[in-house]
Amino acid sequence: MSKEKDDNYWRERLTPEEFRVCREGGTERPFSGEYWATFEDGQYRCRCCGEALFDSESKFESGCGWPSFDAEASGGAIEERPDHSFGMQRTEILCANCGCHLGHVFPDGPTDTGLRYCVNSLSVKLDPGREEGAD
């Protein structure tokens, strides 16, 4: 997959709500996504291209209403860019492979990494059969 896929390509493969979040940078409502309270073992993959993004071992309960992780699955899976929308200064996170909007990363995580990757459930799919390093 590449970041060069056009909107029509993604509209054919995603639901309208998935497209809004993944391709247009939208956000799902807190406490509404499929994975905000899920703690099954597995690997969280990009909904658009299937790239491994987060392992379940890095997921933690943040209380924010979105799935939260303290580390990416492997170096280079996540791309970061400044986000100054809505008068805020945040860091947007995207799938480095296809450019899918995932959410934001914040430097307020409670673990040793100090990071909280706050992710939309609509941006990922849990692959429960996959274990860390099973690519």
Phi, psi of 16 (to 5 degrees): -55, -40
- According to the annotation, is 100 in a ligand binding site? no
Answer yes or no: pTM beyond 0.85: yes
- According to the annotation, is 64 in a ligand binding site? no
- Nearest Cα to 116, choosing from 52, 72, 53? 72
- Summarize pLDDT for 35-91 with one digit per residue, the tens: 999 999 999 999 999 999 999 999 999 999 999 999 999 889 999 998 888 777 889
What is the C-alpha separation between 73 and 120, in angstroms, rounded? 16
Architecture field, domain 7-127: Beta Complex (2.170)
- Domain boundary assignment for the chain: 7-127
Amino acid 97 reads N
- Summarize pLDDT for 3-17 with one digit per residue, the tens: 678 889 999 999 999
- Chain position carrying tokens 């909007």: 101
What pLDDT score was predicted for residue 1?
43
DSSP state of 15: -
Catalytic residue numbers read 118
